[in-house]
């Protein structure tokens, strides 16, 4: 059978394989709500500008609502021979209202239609991701507040560096998620121009009102160049880039959860809800959800790469290559949404083993920098010399198998005669974190102030 939409020129239907490679209905059906919303706005404008009659427009809008209801209620049969969501909806509209349906596509092409649908979809997705990121931040701020005073080892190279607070560590991810939100918001701002009315590529000779449809669909205005409108997908690329960065942040936290929940660390315990057992080793408690979040960043970064490669080198304007823009984006954005949900759940429910964290922070000479700083402050040594003295003392303690605060005063004085017993005041982890009050530092009071800052932000934005 020849195609309903362009059968005028085509005698024969497509080859079976052509149908398979050409159809996008399998994945673009998720645009149904955006597609119908766009069509209703277009139709209303066509009537307002006198391009079609009011009666026809009313019939079309009512028919589109009926199609929407059928899809929502699962009564709609998507047909591969109708290729994509646009033609499936229009064809069903024709079944319901007859030849009048054919007036809907006046002054429009599937090229501006698909660009519109995708923009509306991405805009909705950004809004949803923003809510999810806010919830993720909130879960972290809750944990940070509870653990403003909980001491853990801070690492560089995953080697004990200096003691920090667990609250401070949680808040590091709140900052990252805040920037992820702002990157998405930035992408949203730039995408918010309507491509509808660009038609196939050159605009149209009908007296359409693009400002009217743009406003109706919640855009700031219409796009300014018809060629650009139908041929760029940078709004998807930007969103995927922001998503890839967010996923990279999540993968780092996921990795930390995997490490922290390892019995060798024993810093946190995940709930049964986010772990799994082993069918052969009864002692196992595997952090599967964290591992999967860590891995899902792969497909999210992959989605960005896929679309960059699809778009690279395409001549203006539309090419069918651009139908390949959807699956990778859907997959990536779905994966990010699921990862955020899982991570928020894990953070909200995990319990912290404060004594174990504290004990680990006290091992590994984590207050060596505090000792060096004390030598500078109390004895006036240049920092480089203080660093050297401290290094010698760490070497002695290491040989004895003890921590710095277990060295006797005599042992310390043998290295630097000026040292007094005041030094013991800076060798404890509590004093160490409490002293880190510089702006953005790990001190418990700083953590509490940062939590208050974020709560005030959420009051406004979330
Ligand atoms: N299904 C198509 C897509 O996803 C819609 C646009 C088709 N346009 C065309 N000129 N063949 O890109």
Residue 462, pLDDT score: 47
Give the whole-angstrom CA distance, residue 27 versus residue 20: 13
Tens digit of pLDDT for each residue in 191-237?
999 999 999 999 999 999 999 999 999 999 999 999 999 999 999 99
Q: Is the pLDDT score of 60 beyond 90?
A: yes
Residue 6, pLDDT score: 67
Could you tell me how far CA 437 lies from the centroid of its own chain? 31
Mutate to test the pocket of ligand 1, among 82, 84, 87 (most ligand atoms within 8 A of CB): 84
Percentage of the residues of the chain whose pLDDT score is greater than 70: 98
Q: Which of these, 238, 284, 281, lies nearest to 262 by C-alpha position?
A: 284
Which residue's CA is the nearest one to ligand 1's atom 4? 323
Mean per-residue pLDDT, 51-80: 98
User: By three-state DSSP, how is residue 222 classified?
Assistant: strand
Tens digit of pLDDT for each residue in 95-134?
999 999 999 999 999 999 999 999 999 999 999 999 999 9
37's tokens: 């919303």
Mean per-residue pLDDT, 307-324: 97
The DSSP result for 64-106, as a single string, is: HHHHHHHHHTT-----GGG-SHHHHHHHHHHHHHGGGGGGTTT
Indicate which residue of 53, 182, 278, 319 is catalytic.
278
Average pLDDT, the chain: 95
Location of structure tokens 């209620």: 73
The answer to whether 82 touches 19, Cβ cutoff 8 Å, is no
The answer to whether 362 touches 429, Cβ cutoff 8 Å, is yes
The answer to whether 165 touches 152, Cβ cutoff 8 Å, is yes
Q: Is the pLDDT score of 268 beyond 50?
A: yes
Q: Is the pLDDT score of 137 beyond 80?
A: yes
Tens digit of pLDDT for each residue in 323-339?
999 999 999 999 999 99
The answer to whether 43 touches 101, Cβ cutoff 8 Å, is no
Q: Is the Cβ atom of 118 under 6 angstroms away from ligand 1?
A: no
Which residue's CA is the nearest one to ligand 1's atom 2? 323
Which residue's CA is the nearest one to ligand 1's atom 12? 323
Residue 1, pLDDT score: 53
To the query of whether residue 39 is one of the catalytic residues in this protein, the response is: no
Tens digit of pLDDT for each residue in 139-169?
999 999 999 999 999 999 999 999 999 999 9
Tens digit of pLDDT for each residue in 203-212?
999 999 999 9
To the query of whether residue 211 is one of the catalytic residues in this protein, the response is: no
Beta-bridge partners for 164: 152
Q: Is the pLDDT score of 391 beyond 60?
A: yes
For residue 114, how far is its CA from the centre of ligand 1 (angstroms)?
Answer: 7
For residue 269, how far is its CA from the centre of ligand 1 (angstroms)?
Answer: 50
* DSSP 8-state assignment for residue 314: P
């Amino acid at each position: 059978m020849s195609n309903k939409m362009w059968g005028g020129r085509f005698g024969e239907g497509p080859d079976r394989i052509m149908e398979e490679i050409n159809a996008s209905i399998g994945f673009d059906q998720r645009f149904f709500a955006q597609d119908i919303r766009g069509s209703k706005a277009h139709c209303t404008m066509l009537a307002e500008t006198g391009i079609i009659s009011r009666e026809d427009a009313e019939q079309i809008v009512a028919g589109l609502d009926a199609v929407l209801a059928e899809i929502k209620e699962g009564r709609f049969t998507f047909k591969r021979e109708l290729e994509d969501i646009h033609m499936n909806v229009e064809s069903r509209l024709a079944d319901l209202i007859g030849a009048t349906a054919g007036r809907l596509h006046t002054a429009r092409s599937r090229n501006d239609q698909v660009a519109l649908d995708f923009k509306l979809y991405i805009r909705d997705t950004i809004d949803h991701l923003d809510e999810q990121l806010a919830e993720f931040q909130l879960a972290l701020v809750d944990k940070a507040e509870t653990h403003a005073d909980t001491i853990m080892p801070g690492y560089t190279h995953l080697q004990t560096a200096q003691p920090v607070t667990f609250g401070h560590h949680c808040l590091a991810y709140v900052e990252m998620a805040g920037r992820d939100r702002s990157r998405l918001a930035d992408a949203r701002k730039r995408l918010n121009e309507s491509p509808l009315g660009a038609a196939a590529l050159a605009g149209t000779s009908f007296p359409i009102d693009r400002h009217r449809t743009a406003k109706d669909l919640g855009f700031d205005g219409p796009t300014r160049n018809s060629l650009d409108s139908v041929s760029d997908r940078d709004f998807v690329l930007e969103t995927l880039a922001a998503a890839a960065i967010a996923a990279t942040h999540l993968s780092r936290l996921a990795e930390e959860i995997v490490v922290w929940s390892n019995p060798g660390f024993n810093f946190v315990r995940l709930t049964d809800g986010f772990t799994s057992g082993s069918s052969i080793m009864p002692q196992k408690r595997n952090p599967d959800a964290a591992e999967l979040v860590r891995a899902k960043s792969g497909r999210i970064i992959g989605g960005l790469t896929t679309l960059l490669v699809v778009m690279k080198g395409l001549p203006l304007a539309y090419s069918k290559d651009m139908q390949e823009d959807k699956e990778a984006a859907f997959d990536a954005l779905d994966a990010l949404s699921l990862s955020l949900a899982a991570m928020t759940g894990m953070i909200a429910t995990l319990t912290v083993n404060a004594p174990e964290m504290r004990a680990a922070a006290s091992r590994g000479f984590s207050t060596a920098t505090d000792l060096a700083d004390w030598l500078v402050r109390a004895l006036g040594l240049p920092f480089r010399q203080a660093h050297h003295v401290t290094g010698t003392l760490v070497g002695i303690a290491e040989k004895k198998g003890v921590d710095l605060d277990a060295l006797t005063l005599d042992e310390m004085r043998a290295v630097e005669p000026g040292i007094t017993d005041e030094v013991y005041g800076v060798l404890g982890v509590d004093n160490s974190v409490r002293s880190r009050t510089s702006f953005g530092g790990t001190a418990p009071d700083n953590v509490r102030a940062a939590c208050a800052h974020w709560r005030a932000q959420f009051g406004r934005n979330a």
